Amino acid sequence: MSIFRRGQRGPGRVTVQEAAARTGHGDIADSAGDAVLLDVREPYEWQAGHAPRAVHLSLSALAAGAGLPSEAQARPLIVICRSGNRSRQAAELLVARGAQAVDVIGGMHDWTGAGLPVVDARGGNGTIA
């Protein structure tokens, strides 16, 4: 069953394990790993630490009408922030605009808690700001 259910009211929510599998970050990557991990935190948070291969677009830019980065266009989106609050808002905006989007419960806090990788802006070991 797809985490991107058609016809649902608003975005779904996924665990970090589901997000990692769908975006190719987990031990057992989903064979349909076509989803993009979209990080909607502010630039200073992104620079301190984010998931490898994630795409960045802050919630403030998205809310101001910014379009998706090219890597995220026309692809299923798994939206993440620090704790899950901003990603929920961003996923709602994206679904309202016609995108397939779900948000990650617990955000980057749960991501790191699950032992998933985090890199900084230079590719070194990152931290969650």
- In this predicted structure, what is the pLDDT of residue 72? 96
Q: Is 99 a domain residue? A: yes
CA nearest neighbour of 34 among 21, 23, 25, 26? 23
Pairing of strands 101-104, 12-14: parallel
- CATH number of 54's domain: 3.40.250.10
- In this predicted structure, what is the pLDDT of residue 11? 82
Q: Is 38 a domain residue? A: yes
DSSP reduced 3-state for 14 = strand
Residue with tokens 């998931």: 51
- In this predicted structure, what is the pLDDT of residue 102? 97
Q: Which domain holds residue 51?
A: 12-113
Question: What are the tens digits of pLDDT across the range 8-67?
Answer: 566 899 999 999 999 988 665 544 568 999 999 999 999 999 999 999 999 999 999 999
Q: Is 121 a domain residue? A: no
Q: Is 127 a domain residue? A: no
Question: What are the tens digits of pLDDT across the range 98-123?
Answer: 999 999 999 999 999 999 999 999 99
Reply yes or no on whether the pLDDT at 129 is more than 70: yes
Distance of CA 14 to the CA centre of its chain: 10
Whether 26 contacts 35, CB under 8 Å: no
Amino acid at 14: V
3-state secondary structure 57-86: CCHHHHHCCCCCCHHHCCCCEEEECCCCHH
Q: Is 68 a domain residue? A: yes
Q: Is 59 a catalytic residue?
A: no
Q: Is 118 a domain residue? A: no
In this structure, the number of other CB atoms found within 10 A of the CB of residue 55 comes to 19
Q: Is 129 a domain residue? A: no
**Of 20, 62, 80, 81, catalytic:** 81
